């Protein structure tokens, strides 16, 4: 499951994966995020907040995730990856080559620092 909390007053979305991600998770996320992007032109930031990286339920779920990133990265200014997972250290440098957003890694306990960074100009 992927919990998506849109904070329109700040122009950010918080994504909290819980368990293996599914194709349906990304469809639901699009249903929440896309109308906001259509009305505002984009998101100031996205926070991915998870203690451990949950992985994907299937290969098609991974493909849905990649498609979601491809469709949305142009409309997002910053991505804060807030996790203690080793995957965060591995993914952050890789992701920065494929998305136009600025990406920064934060320890799971530094959620407030991550939010502050997202809100900076």
pTM of the predicted structure, to 2 decimals: 0.89
Tens place of pLDDT per residue across the chain (121 aa): 999 999 999 999 999 999 999 999 999 999 999 999 999 999 999 999 999 988 899 999 989 988 998 899 899 999 999 999 877 766 776 677 678 789 999 999 999 999 999 999 7
Range of the domain at 44: 2-119
- Taking the C-alpha atoms of residue 87 and residue 61, their distance in angstroms, rounded to an integer, is 18
* CA dihedral sign, ordered 78, 16, 70, 9: negative
Q: What is the DSSP-derived secondary structure letter of residue 9?
A: T
* CATH code of the domain containing 6: 3.30.750
CA distance 30 to 66: 13
The alpha carbons of the chain give a radius of gyration, in whole angstroms, of 13
Q: What is the distance between the alpha carbons of residues 37 and 47, in angstroms, rounded to a whole number?
A: 16
Q: Work out how many domains the chain is built from and give that number.
A: 1
Cβ contacts of residue 19 below 8 Å, gap of 6+? 1, 54
């Amino acid at each position: 499951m992927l919990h998506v909390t849109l904070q329109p007053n700040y122009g950010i979305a918080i994504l909290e994966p819980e368990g293996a991600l599914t194709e349906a998770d990304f469809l639901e996320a699009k249903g929440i995020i896309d109308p906001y992007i259509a009305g505002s032109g984009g998101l100031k930031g996205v926070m991915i907040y998870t203690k451990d990286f949950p992985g994907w339920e299937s290969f098609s779920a991974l493909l849905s995730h990649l498609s979601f990133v491809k469709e949305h990265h142009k409309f997002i200014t910053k991505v804060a990856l807030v996790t203690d997972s080793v995957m965060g250290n591995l993914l952050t440098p890789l992701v920065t080559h494929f998305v136009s957003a600025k990406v920064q890694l934060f320890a799971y306990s530094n959620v407030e620092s991550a939010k502050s960074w997202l809100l900076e100009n």
